[in-house]
Chains A and B, each alone.
Chain A
Amino acid sequence: MNLNEKARSLLTRNQHLLTSVCLSAFLLLVAAFRAPQLFSSSGIGSAIIVLAPLVLASLAVTPIVLAGRGGVDLSVGPLLGFLNVTLVAWLVEYGYSSPTYVIVYLVGIGVLYQIIIATIIIYVRVSPIIVTLSAYLVLTGVNLVILDRPSGVAPEWMFDWGNGATVFSPVFFVLCGMIVLWAIFSRTAFYQQILLTGGEERMAFASGVNTVGARFGAHAVAGVYTAMAALCYTALIGSGDPTQGSTYTLSAITAVVLGGTSLAGGRGGGLGSILGSICIYLISYVLATFNFGTVSGFVTQMSTGVVLVMSLLVNSAISRPAGETK
């Protein structure tokens, strides 16, 4: 009976994973039939290299979404791009490219940036969408000013990160490390405070939850994950690219939504975002196995849109209380 109950509680807790689990299982099945090379060592290896920045970017968006107020970080992509181009154009250029410098720099700037954003959201009380939208515009512009076209090289120690011939690449370890870190983070009291703040901010505030601290913290975590996403992204492309980083905003948000995290806040989690990212990768991977020729890019675009709309609808249907009649 106890076991049964535990299973039930596990189920109710993870209801939001329904879409992403089903979809990824289905896609894996299709992939197994159409392109079994995915499951080879190099197949998995390159999948991890490509997936890592997306997984980390979607994990970066997750705490901010969980903290509520309709806060979606639209600027996650441009921030990732900013860290990528400044790493290439400044740190490597001026010789501060040792791993320590690079990681301290990325995490420091990522967190600092998010703290500034959080300050504006909390104290100026401008809605998060507007703040991150403005930040998107600013960073997109700044990125192009720093680096007007794809150029530069990644730090030397990163050169062999991006080939993905084996499963156990350095990117794999970074990704695993960050996922483990997330697992720890999601078991802390701090994570709980973020969920409470996002679930019903008025309740949390009135019950004495440190809502301001939780919101700042959520943004700081986002900064750390964006920094690591930028690291993996730099490893993936091996250079600096001022525009491609911005595209991560849309895929990261799609991954979060697909993972069942409610954009209204307080519901969802990192596992969903990881599964959502995997789904996005698999969608384009599976679609690539069909011979769409020139339109394959458009098929991907369309399916991203359809998946986004569908998962939003499924989410809102699940999260509506059963007995609600009004």
Chain B
Amino acid sequence: MIMFNYLKDTPTIQKISINRSVLFGIGLLIFLSIAGTLLVPQFGSYANIRSMLLLAAFLGLASLGQTLCALLGGLDMSIPYVIGSSNILLAALLNWGVPWLPACLIVLIGGLAVGILNGVLSFRIQGQSLIMTMGVGLAVVGACQILISTGSVYGGTVLGTVPQWLRDVSSIAGTTFGLPIPPIVIIWIVVAAIVVTAMAKTSFGRSFYAVGGNRLAASRILISEYRMWLIAYAISGGMSALTGMALLGFSGGGFVGVGDPYLFTTIAAVVIGGTSLMGGWGGYGSTIVGTLVLTFLTTLLVGLGLSYAMQQAVFGLLIIPIVAFYARDRSIGDQI
């Protein structure tokens, strides 16, 4: 924390501070690995690493949209609800005998549609995107459950068989082309590679940074803020749907509450990675680091015997100092 003052003022160094936030994260990862290996038996075992990667993959996929929204200065609180909805919706569709491909497409398109709805509704009142997306999420998850449970005796859960291939995709024991790595991890790596490259190397990706950095300047060079806002929320909806489907394979049965932990962990992954919630700074690469830190930390805390509740508390305690480090508001006197 000695770097605090040093980093705060001069902009030249801020550039380095972004890289440093990633370095800081990687340092934290190494620290957590060492601490884990020393304190928790089996931490470094192959089985444990595989399960950590699996959990990181779910979180990483769910945090992609949150990262894009944060880059524009928004938040998407509908992620857990969309994850839950797509989880049970896919289970129900498969149960009703819909072939897997159309079923997955329906869910994915549904997720995208919810995302676009989020974007449209929250664009005019960006400061309130948090509450708006939460409202949309609640409405969606309610509607989804009504749709599925009407005439059924179970509420919120869908029992039924999940196809074997879907189980394989997200199971800890899953293999990819003979490699002993669950396919969902490979999918995450591929998605991450595409996203990180696209964010760095295409004018599409750079447009997010332009809008997040300076809206007016972006509009002066004809980048539509509205379009980027919609795209970010649409991607968020789509990725949440994807995560929800993948989680169906993991848990083996549809359960609407499966998304709940992702309400805050997606934000935590984004913030701990070093992406400012005010827009323009950070990126998916940072979020990947944040995701791994969170997963490693969770495993370590579990290994140390901390309950789920205490893990949440530790995450909460981590966020404020990190945001204070990267993204403080301007003082009021400077705004007049």
Given A137-B312, A202-B335, A295-B150; A250-B145 close (CB under 8 Å): no
Minimum CB–CB distance from B80 to chain A (whole Å) comes to: 12
Q: Are B316 and A138 in contact (CB under 8 A)?
A: yes
**A115-144 at interface with B (beta carbon < 8 Å):** 120, 124-127, 129-131, 133-144
B332 adjacent to chain A (CB < 8 Å): yes
Measured between beta carbons, the chain B residues less than 8 angstroms from A263 are 127-128, 131
Our pick among B135, B156, B309 for the contact of A143 (Cβ within 8 Å) is: B309
Q: Are A125 and B142 in contact (CB under 8 A)?
A: no
Listed stretches A20-28, A175-183, A187-195, A299-307; interface member: A299-307
Q: Residue on B with the closest CB to A297?
A: B155
Q: Are B336 and A316 in contact (CB under 8 A)?
A: no
**A250-268 at interface with B (beta carbon < 8 Å):** 250, 253-254, 257, 263-264
Q: Are B155 and A298 in contact (CB under 8 A)?
A: yes
Q: Are A125 and B124 in contact (CB under 8 A)?
A: no
**B312-332 at interface with A (beta carbon < 8 Å):** 312-317, 319-320, 323-324, 327-332
* Interface size of A as a range: 35 or more
Given A144-B309, A263-B128; A127-B142 close (CB under 8 Å): no
Residues 126-140 of chain B, each 1 if its beta carbon lies under 8 Å from chain A, else 0: 011011101111111
A70 to B311, CA, bound (A): 28
Q: Are B313 and A138 in contact (CB under 8 A)?
A: yes
B200 adjacent to chain A (CB < 8 Å): no
Q: Are A250 and B134 in contact (CB under 8 A)?
A: yes
Q: Are B267 and A309 in contact (CB under 8 A)?
A: no
Interface residues in B, total, Cβ within 8 A: 58
Chain B at the A interface: SS class: helix
Q: Are B142 and A257 in contact (CB under 8 A)?
A: no
A306 to B327, CA, bound (A): 33
A137 to B140, CA, bound (A): 24
Measured between beta carbons, the chain B residues less than 8 angstroms from A141 are 309-314, 316
Q: Are A305 and B336 in contact (CB under 8 A)?
A: no
Minimum CB–CB distance from B194 to chain A (whole Å) comes to: 29
A206 adjacent to chain B (CB < 8 Å): yes
Minimum CB–CB distance from A180 to chain B (whole Å) comes to: 29
Q: Residue on B with the closest CB to A298?
A: B145
A12 adjacent to chain B (CB < 8 Å): no
A302 to B278, CA, bound (A): 30
Measured between beta carbons, the chain A residues less than 8 angstroms from B332 are 201-202, 205, 211
Q: Residue on B with the closest CB to A120?
A: B320
B176 adjacent to chain A (CB < 8 Å): no
Q: Are B316 and A125 in contact (CB under 8 A)?
A: no
Measured between beta carbons, the chain A residues less than 8 angstroms from B141 are 298, 301-302, 305
Given A305-B136, A306-B135; A264-B309 close (CB under 8 Å): no
Residues 275-300 of chain A, each 1 if its beta carbon lies under 8 Å from chain B, else 0: 00000000000000000001101111
Q: Are A294 and B128 in contact (CB under 8 A)?
A: no
**A205-238 at interface with B (beta carbon < 8 Å):** 205-206, 211
Q: Are A130 and B309 in contact (CB under 8 A)?
A: no
A sample of 18 cross-chain residue pairs with beta-carbon separation below 8 angstroms, ordered by A number, consists of A70-B128, A124-B324, A125-B328, A126-B327, A130-B277, A135-B316, A136-B316, A137-B312, A139-B313, A140-B312, A141-B310, A202-B336, A250-B138, A263-B127, A295-B150, A302-B139, A305-B137, A308-B134
Given A136-B264, A250-B138, 12 other A-B residues pairs in contact with their CB atoms under 8 A? A125-B330, A133-B316, A134-B320, A137-B313, A294-B155, A295-B149, A297-B155, A298-B142, A299-B142, A302-B139, A305-B142, A307-B135
Closest 10 CB pairs between A and B?
A302-B142, A141-B313, A305-B138, A137-B316, A305-B139, A308-B135, A144-B309, A138-B316, A301-B142, A298-B145
